Amino acid sequence: MALYTTIHLHNVSTGHDAAYADWFDGEHQSELARLRGFKGAERYEVTKEQIMPDIPQPWRYVTVYDFDSETPAIDLPALAPLLANVRDKGWIASDTAERIYTYDLMGDWKASPNWQKDQPLSGVSIILGNYVAGRYEEYQDWYENVHSVEVINVPGHVAMKRGELSSIQLEPRHYCPGDQLVLCAQQTDDLMFTLRDFSARARGVSPSGIAMEPRSASGSFARTVHYFKKVSGNTFWPGGIAYGGDLSVYPKEP
């Protein structure tokens, strides 16, 4: 089997937030359960505070859909008509911001000892990133063997999974600014502390005494970072992963 994640970045038209939420937690879950290869889905709302405040946050919501499929070219596009149905109802804002991107995952959640499997996640962050041309292998080695380990071992950070933009994309298609997906999960009721310690470790001044390695030059600065809090009903996915809670951020750029 192979793992895939589709992220649906969107805004909801005025006055339809409650209807959209009810549809997602009810009818849509039943629809998704009938899709081949479907693993789970959760919906998140953007936080007011962002780790990189100068980067625009054009999307109020993101839904993360996970698949495990041997035939992704057949299975993944079946999600598109379900999103088209709710779009046809007029519940997705017609502000041209909606984006749907699918990524081939390099693996499932890579967890640290911080992860409490019987507790929900408090939120997720999404990086739409890129590597510097000609330095792909260096970028992957740095993220897999250095940076991912550093990030998920910060108190409050619990897991990370990464992917590459897939050749399989859903309609309506748009240009994607990030060839590399980094999805990071948190379990904390004090994300301010988590982000401050993350920044301190990156600068080598954390009270923990732990200092991160310098950021690899193979990672492009052409990236956007988006923090979201979970808003859909609590769901336990295969593997015991639970999603729920709230997120409050006082950010420092990593």
Confidence of residue 1 (pLDDT cuts 50, 70, 90): low
Question: Is 48 within 8 Å of 99 (Cβ atoms)?
Answer: no
Q: For residues 83 and 193, which has the higher predicted lDDT (pLDDT)? A: 83
Per-residue pLDDT reduced to its tens digit, 89-103: 999 999 999 999 999
CB atoms within 10 A of CB 233: 14
Predicted pLDDT at 252: 34
Mean pLDDT, range 232-252, rounded to an integer: 41
Q: How far is the C-alpha of 54 from the C-alpha of 239, rounded, in Å? A: 37
Instruction: Tell me the C-alpha distance between 233 and 129, whole Å.
Output: 29
Task: Report pLDDT digits (tens) over 29-66.
Answer: 999 999 999 999 999 999 887 878 889 999 999 999 99
d(CA 156, CA 139): 25
Beta bridge partners of 42: 64
Q: How far is CA 243 from CA 55, 231, 237, in A?
A: 26, 9, 8
pLDDT at 242: 40
Length of the chain: 254
Rounded distance, CA 126 to CA 44, Å?
11
Per-residue pLDDT, 52: 83
Domain boundaries, the chain: 2-243
Q: In the predicted model, what is the mean pLDDT of residues 204-227?
A: 96
What pLDDT, on a 0 to 100 scale, did the predictor assign at position 47? Answer: 85
Sign, CA dihedral 121-42-110-7, equals negative
Give the separation between CA 251 and CA 189, rounded to whole angstroms. Answer: 15
- Where is pLDDT greater, at 120 or 32? 32
Mean pLDDT of all residues belonging to the chain: 90
Closest by CA position to 63, among listed 193, 233, 188: 233
116 — pLDDT class (breaks 50, 70, 90) = very high
Q: What is the CATH number of domain 2-243?
A: 3.30.70.100
d(CA 22, CA 202): 41
* Per-residue confidence (pLDDT) for residue 254, from 0 to 100: 38
Q: pLDDT class for 75, splitting at 50, 70, 90?
A: very high
Q: Is the pLDDT of residue 121 over 90?
A: no
Give the number of C-alpha atoms closer than 13 A to the C-alpha of residue 155, restricted to the C-beta side.
13
The pLDDT of residue 57 is: 95
Q: How large is the average pLDDT for residues 96-123?
A: 94
Residue 236 has what pLDDT?
Answer: 38
Where residue 234 falls among pLDDT bands split at 50, 70, 90?
low
